[in-house]
Structure 1
Amino acid sequence: MATVWLTAAAAHAQQAAADGAATLPPVVVKAAPGAETSGYVARRSTAGAKTDTPLVETPQSVSVVTREQMDAQAAQTIDGAIRYVPGVTTQDNDIRFDQITARGFDLSNDTYLDGLRLMRTTWYATPRIDPYFLDRIDVVRGPVSVLYGQGSPGGAVLMTSKLPTAEAFHEVQAQFGNYNRFQGMFDLGGPVDENGTVLYRVTGLARDADTQTDHVREQRLAIAPSLTFRPDKSTSFTFLGSYQNDPQGGLFNPVPAAGTILPNRNGRISSHDYLGDPDRDRSKREQFSLGYLFEHAFNDSFKVRQNVRYLHQSLQFYQNSLFGSLAADQRTAGLFTNNNDEHLTNLSVDTQAEAKFDTGAVNHTALFGFDVQRVTNNVSRGFSLGTVDVFAPDYRNVAFVPDITKQYIRQTQYGVYAQDQLRYRGWTLTVGGRQDWARNENTVDGAQTRDQQHAFTWRAGLTYQFASGIAPYASFAKSFQPGAGTTFDGTPFQPTHGQQYEVGVKFQPRGWDALFSIAAFDLRQKNVQTTDDDHPGFTRQTGQIRARGFEAEARVNLTDSLKAIASYAYLNQRVISAGIGDPSAGKTPPTGAPSNMASAWLDYTLHRGDWRGLGFGAGARYIGPSWGDRANTFKVPSHLLVDAALHYDVRNWRFALNASNLFNREYIAYCNSEVQCYYGADRTVIGTVRYQW
């Protein structure tokens, strides 16, 4: 295990001591390899290679959101925590689950916790993690299938839990905000015995809040205990558990383009209007997990690891009213309802062996692994029939049909992978390959379909690190996603394949606590499903999507007082082939990914004088226009959002006030079609009181 000094706390303590203030001693936290962060900057990561690797040696774009950044910006969701990452778009207003795209591709099934996938199916039971329970979030952009198996070519979001600490650490927090938001949290950790053989940590949270959407509430009660046993310096076993209960888990609220970003002669639909049935619609979610992280080093050259997690989620009483196309009067719409009762289970096991050895002047870090991922979901579904006036809804004549369909879904993946990182002087060559076998079973009202698929993926990347800290690189990587379902004639869908070429430069200047990066990429996905115009209601695999662009990011701790983040991303995404008559051919997919995005965040804290401990933060996020439908007939306007923070640290206390979307701009975050647009978050104000000892 590696020792991590929380440099911000240490700097505060040293300066305050110089000024004669009473302070706590610096906090020391033991962290797993690759978890080291300082302020807003991380130097190492396991996300891009599954080995403890410097970020400048990783031949792929990786951004790390640190715990300090999450605290400084008062992140309440994973969407909100990663909104300053280049090339990433988030909806930031759906409390049911995270909606994330990277480089124009959906990452809804590409989130990981402690290296293991949080798997979902095509319905609504989706594991969700509160950011308060995390130590960091690594966002890898581009294919990661070689290490993690099936996934989007856009990348993955890899979260790291708060783990037991070698030094005593305790905090309690209270937060309050607009929309009647009240939240209490605690985070306690430290050694159980004098020798530090047994370490513990327990983190908890309770939340009750309204939301910007009328009739939609948010409630959460969650706790995550963990225990680390270290019988010797070579062995570590960490047991992880969690329980989360969301009595009010949020509701979906799509709105039509006509009345939001397009004219509607009947008026405007605001971000507060809930268009569903407030008397019937509801959502209740319960989730728990058990698992462990095991590592044993036989010597300095060879070690083994195994990560295991079982997760179960029950999505009970989930009913959400949605609308179809608007009639000619622009107010009457057909109504349908997702009336689901779901029971989702995840089982993930990842076993790894890592060996370090030399062949002449070449140093090797070789990784071999075998993983198993299984997800099952028992679903009872109903629906509703009728039409509703969107501007004056009356649901009394809508016929609801509960539990009409029973469905059982089981998806299993086995994968074996190998990777070698070869280092010679300033050169690092990373090569890896993986073979996957995937099996899908789908049973609807007793009728079962099965299909089996397999795929081989590989990647290669070359980096050269100059003495100045400049590290140019080039890489190639492939991805795959199993296809679920069949064409009209019963032919099973083939896996969707992706591949990416990426070149870039990373710069970690000597003597600076900073990381700069720029990357250009060409990313393609084929076997994309497109509409089958000859057989309405069916799809076929004739599509191919191409995404090209570049991204730049700077993360800098300029001084012990000033920290900064800045990013820019450009994306050119096109459907370069589609089915005959498909209106998306030659167009930009309506993924919510704009051509241009930029963001910047600065935080300044005084460490001298009478106002020492006082700090200010400010940020801006520009999200350019994006297309709203497959035929590219209308655009979602651009928006510029401003965030701000004010905080004051004195002795053991921290007082903070955060405002996201400070000027309360009402905006549509993205659209999938002319009847499915989604409002972004209005102004959110959160006050925090924290005590640490």
Structure 2
Amino acid sequence: MYLAQKSILASSITLAMLFVVQVHAEEINTEEAQVLPTIVVKAEAETDPYAAIKATSVLKSDAPLFETAQSISVITEKQLQQKQAKTVAEAIEGIAGVTSGQYGRRGWDDFIIRGQVSSSQTYVDGLRVQASDNVGRSEDISGVQSIEVVKGPTSTGFGFALPGGLVNLTTKRPQAETFYRGSLSYGSYALKDGTFDINYAPNQSAKGAFRIVGHVSDQDDATDYIYFKNYYIAPSYNFDLGDKDELSVIASYQHREFIRQQGLPYSDGDYKNYPHGLFFGAPNLSNTVDNYRFGANYTHYFDHDWTLKSNFAVNQTDADNNPILAGSSNILPLIKRTVERQIKDDLNFTLDNNLSRHFDWGKTQYDFMIGLDMMHERSDYERRRRTLSAFNADNPVYTVIEPATTTIAHQIIDTQYMGLYLRNNFKIDDHWIIGLSGRQDWTQVKVDDLFNDTEFKNSDSAFTGSASLMYQINDMLAPYVSYSTSFFPVSDTGEGGILLDPEEGEQIEAGVKFQAFNQKLQGYVAYYDLTRKNVTESDSTLGYSVQIGEQKTKGFEAELAAALTSQWNVNATYSYIPTAETTDSTTASDIGKRINHVPKNAASLSTQYYFSPDQLGWNIGAGVSYQGARSAQRGTYYVPLSNYTLYDVKAGYEAKHWGANFSIKNMFDKEYLVGTTPNAQLVSWGEPRTFRLTLNFKY
């Protein structure tokens, strides 16, 4: 009944949207046409800027970032090349308000945005790739054109979401020129990496063009027996359907095999007495993940400036993980251990349709959008476990360990939602910009507990909204203020096996956007006050999940990306989060405690200089990043994490058809703790000094 009602509603809304367009078209055709003089505007456009001007995928529009009353950081392709990052977590390091890799090198993309864990908030081309968060993801970024980090609640545009923010990956699509590119890399810990990027445009047009991107990587780790293997391929094609229709399709396959870094028990600081490379797991047990994705983007341009866009994707993920987990209350040299087998199969369908138009009413410019999106995910997750003998860190012995066979949990979680959203944006007298958006969501979470032979279902509806006001003082400064809300239905069960209430969030933000140098410098300064309610955590002692209460984060952010000249690029960020604490909890002793892994201060500065204005020949670069002191605690466990500063350097040479780059990360081989496990019992060493040599080919 629930799905039938929603299907009827979806059909009705779609018909209504088309009816509005048809009626409006008939009304205009009856009016006398007024011929206006043709005005030709010429502007210098840079197809691949260093500092992003727009975030089209995540904003669902061509609105400039300078006119958007929201904190959004965009890592462009040039910035990704400068960072030489291998993962999403590495790529977003240094973004203001973001902490990444807080759980160590465990093979997943872990990150925190504005004090809230947001690792499950990953999107590709504006569509959610996974609703469940019990096994993480690591997206290949060799096929990524840019990465957009949205900070603060995003439910108005994307449905259910945690309030910290999200990370959106925009994929590489066919271009209007034929080219062949590739790279080969070798680096520390036997890194071997190769990519290719082939674009074929038979008519020197993006329409009818084909592109294929591939990547293979194999690397060991500073921890003994750890390795990461990755294989990725993504073909895409743009159909030629004429001037009024655009259709692009993309498919991808990614295979990962790895053994995760596990860290060592904190044990009152005794971990310092053991080598960084110590591994207490099983060298013969690996983790494998296969991900298949197919996506399609369709756009139709109606007469009289109406535009219909449809975005669709289906994701299939098959994971078979075999981690060795440490027990609680470990006192070195002994480490209690269990072996788990985590088998996870996910099938996810997402669809987003929207209808939009720009209206010019003289001194008022109005952008209207109405949309309907939906998602359906089926997640089959089974856990098997077996207790192992304790590991003696003073006398490491490694034997073959068989995968676990005793099932301890098996659930099939069916999550679906549908959302109707309306976005209104007014620009008045070329200075005032007013944003008003609202969204109504209907969600259903069904948990089929095969292990306990029980079934639970929970249906919810929620309205979320956002409002903003911006004033453009001139072409360089634009202060703004905004308010937004969010909600997130959970699949966790509480006492008695009853599904818990959805989490909720709200945020007030005030800031200033700025730009200069003909838009080649982009940045912002912002203050935010964010609240997350009904925070949900699993409790291993009770055996079920509890909603502990409320968390609040308040802070300041500043960010700047600039091509100061044709030869000099600079990127700088700073974040200050004085408040990141639990303000309400069922456990009185937790009130006032700081949220795990959130530093009060963090900053980064990177630069790259080309010795020639055409950016050929020699170039050099450097970067410095600072992470303030943090802590991690869970129950009686408390781990202090000291601050650290890392330095990176880079040098390269670019010719017309080839290039070479050499980079060193953590140049002074700083020893530091990157973070802990979620239960705050194990600590993970940060990555030591590493080098990477890359040869590029381009034709």
TM-score, normalised to structure 2's length?
A: 0.88
Amino acid at match of 1:639: Y
- Do 2:322 and 2:403's aligned partners in 1 also have CA atoms closer than 8 Å? no
Which structure 2 segments of 5+ residues have no match? 1-44
Q: CA RMSD in A?
A: 2.4
Amino acid at match of 2:558: A
CA distance in 2, matches of 1:365, 1:530: 41
Going from structure 1 to structure 2, the CA distance change for 1:628 and 1:350 (only over 3 Å counts) comes to same
Amino acid at match of 1:441: K
1:533-682 map, 5 Å: 536-571=542-577, 572-581=579-588, 583-590=589-596, 592-607=597-612, 613-630=617-634, 633-671=638-676, 672-682=678-688
Measured after TM superposition, the shift of residue 239 of structure 1 is: 0.8
CA distance in 2, matches of 1:288, 1:360: 48
Q: State whether structure 2 residue 484 is matched by structure 1 residue 481.
A: no
Measured after TM superposition, the shift of residue 440 of structure 1 is: 1.4
CA distance in 2, matches of 1:167, 1:545: 50
CA distance in 2, matches of 1:608, 1:508: 22
Partner of 2:366: 364
| Larger helix fraction of residues | 2
Amino acid at match of 1:574: E
Q: State whether structure 2 residue 509 is matched by structure 1 residue 499.
A: no
Q: State whether structure 2 residue 314 is matched by structure 1 residue 310.
A: yes
Going from structure 1 to structure 2, the CA distance change for 1:411 and 1:530 (only over 3 Å counts) comes to closer
Measured after TM superposition, the shift of residue 47 of structure 1 is: 4.8
Q: What whole-Å deviation, never above 9, does each CA across 1:56-109 have from its counterpart, x for those lacking one?
A: 111110111010111122111111111121111111853522001111111111
Q: State whether structure 2 residue 692 is matched by structure 1 residue 686.
A: yes
Partner of 1:428: 433
- Counterpart among 454, 466, 469 of residue 459 in structure 1: 466
- Do 1:127 and 1:287's aligned partners in 2 also have CA atoms closer than 8 Å? no
Partner of 2:4: none
Measured after TM superposition, the shift of residue 670 of structure 1 is: 1.6
Q: What whole-Å deviation, never above 9, does each CA across 1:608-652 have from its counterpart, x for those lacking one?
A: 79x961111100110001112146844111111111111101221
- Do 2:386 and 2:406's aligned partners in 1 also have CA atoms closer than 8 Å? no
Q: What whole-Å deviation, never above 9, does each CA across 1:250-272 have from its counterpart, x for those lacking one?
A: 324142223xxx532x8623432
Measured after TM superposition, the shift of residue 576 of structure 1 is: 0.6
Partner of 1:263: 269
Q: State whether structure 2 residue 167 is matched by structure 1 residue 157.
A: yes
Report the secondary structure of 2:420's partner residue. Answer: strand
Amino acid at match of 1:454: S
Going from structure 1 to structure 2, the CA distance change for 1:501 and 1:195 (only over 3 Å counts) comes to closer
Measured after TM superposition, the shift of residue 691 of structure 1 is: 1.0
CA distance in 2, matches of 1:637, 1:411: 40
Q: What whole-Å deviation, never above 9, does each CA across 1:125-157 have from its counterpart, x for those lacking one?
A: x44321111110111111111001111111111
Report the secondary structure of 2:142's partner residue. Answer: helix
Q: What whole-Å deviation, never above 9, does each CA across 1:202-261 have from its counterpart, x for those lacking one?
A: 101112221222112121221100000132222110010001122x23324142223xxx
Report the secondary structure of 2:258's partner residue. Answer: coil
Partner of 1:338: 340
- Counterpart among 442, 447, 458 of residue 454 in structure 2: 447
Partner of 2:405: 402
Report the secondary structure of 2:273's partner residue. Answer: coil
CA distance in 1, matches of 2:314, 2:518: 44
Partner of 1:19: none
Report the secondary structure of 1:119's partner residue. Answer: coil
Q: State whether structure 2 residue 65 is matched by structure 1 residue 59.
A: no
CA distance in 2, matches of 1:270, 1:452: 51
- Counterpart among 298, 321, 324 of residue 324 in structure 2: 321
CA distance in 2, matches of 1:396, 1:171: 44
CA distance in 2, matches of 1:238, 1:295: 9
Report the secondary structure of 1:594's partner residue. Answer: coil
CA distance in 2, matches of 1:73, 1:267: 30
Measured after TM superposition, the shift of residue 360 of structure 1 is: 6.0
Report the secondary structure of 2:90's partner residue. Answer: helix
Measured after TM superposition, the shift of residue 191 of structure 1 is: 1.3
Partner of 1:233: 243
Report the secondary structure of 1:263's partner residue. Answer: helix
Partner of 1:73: 83
Report the secondary structure of 1:109's partner residue. Answer: coil
- Do 2:109 and 2:137's aligned partners in 1 also have CA atoms closer than 8 Å? no
Measured after TM superposition, the shift of residue 172 of structure 1 is: 1.3
Q: State whether structure 2 residue 124 is matched by structure 1 residue 121.
A: no
Partner of 1:20: none
Partner of 1:94: 105
Measured after TM superposition, the shift of residue 299 of structure 1 is: 3.2
- Do 2:175 and 2:206's aligned partners in 1 also have CA atoms closer than 8 Å? no
Q: What whole-Å deviation, never above 9, does each CA across 1:531-588 have from its counterpart, x for those lacking one?
A: 789x83334334111100000011111111110001110112111110144x321111
Amino acid at match of 1:294: Y
Partner of 1:3: none
- Do 2:120 and 2:133's aligned partners in 1 also have CA atoms closer than 8 Å? no
CA distance in 2, matches of 1:517, 1:300: 35
- Do 1:385 and 1:400's aligned partners in 2 also have CA atoms closer than 8 Å? no
- Do 2:97 and 2:575's aligned partners in 1 also have CA atoms closer than 8 Å? yes
Q: What whole-Å deviation, never above 9, does each CA across 1:34-59 have from its counterpart, x for those lacking one?
A: x9764420111225532111101111
Partner of 1:15: none
Larger displacement relative to structure 2 (158-167 or 393-402): 393-402
Report the secondary structure of 2:358's partner residue. Answer: strand
Report the secondary structure of 1:645's partner residue. Answer: strand
Report the secondary structure of 2:590's partner residue. Answer: coil
Report the secondary structure of 2:322's partner residue. Answer: strand
Amino acid at match of 2:125: D
Q: What whole-Å deviation, never above 9, does each CA across 1:6-53 have from its counterpart, x for those lacking one?
A: xxxxxxxxxxxxxxxxxxxxxxxxxxxxx9764420111225532111
CA distance in 1, matches of 2:692, 2:118: 28
- Do 1:342 and 1:379's aligned partners in 2 also have CA atoms closer than 8 Å? yes
Going from structure 1 to structure 2, the CA distance change for 1:36 and 1:608 (only over 3 Å counts) comes to closer
Report the secondary structure of 1:72's partner residue. Answer: helix
CA distance in 2, matches of 1:452, 1:394: 51
Partner of 2:21: none
Partner of 1:516: 523
Measured after TM superposition, the shift of residue 487 of structure 1 is: 2.5
CA distance in 1, matches of 2:650, 2:328: 42
Measured after TM superposition, the shift of residue 123 of structure 1 is: 2.5
Report the secondary structure of 1:79's partner residue. Answer: helix
Percent of residue pairs bearing the same amino acid type = 27
CA distance in 2, matches of 1:564, 1:195: 33
CA distance in 1, matches of 2:192, 2:354: 42
Amino acid at match of 1:428: I
Between the two proteins, the alignment pairs up a number of residues equal to: 646
Going from structure 1 to structure 2, the CA distance change for 1:37 and 1:211 (only over 3 Å counts) comes to farther
Amino acid at match of 1:402: T
Going from structure 1 to structure 2, the CA distance change for 1:139 and 1:36 (only over 3 Å counts) comes to farther
Q: State whether structure 2 residue 225 is matched by structure 1 residue 223.
A: no
- Do 2:478 and 2:514's aligned partners in 1 also have CA atoms closer than 8 Å? yes
Going from structure 1 to structure 2, the CA distance change for 1:596 and 1:357 (only over 3 Å counts) comes to same
Partner of 2:262: 253
Q: What whole-Å deviation, never above 9, does each CA across 1:273-332 have from its counterpart, x for those lacking one?
A: 2221223x211121111120111111352101111111111113x2100112234x5333
Measured after TM superposition, the shift of residue 380 of structure 1 is: 3.1
Report the secondary structure of 1:646's partner residue. Answer: strand
- Do 1:143 and 1:155's aligned partners in 2 also have CA atoms closer than 8 Å? yes
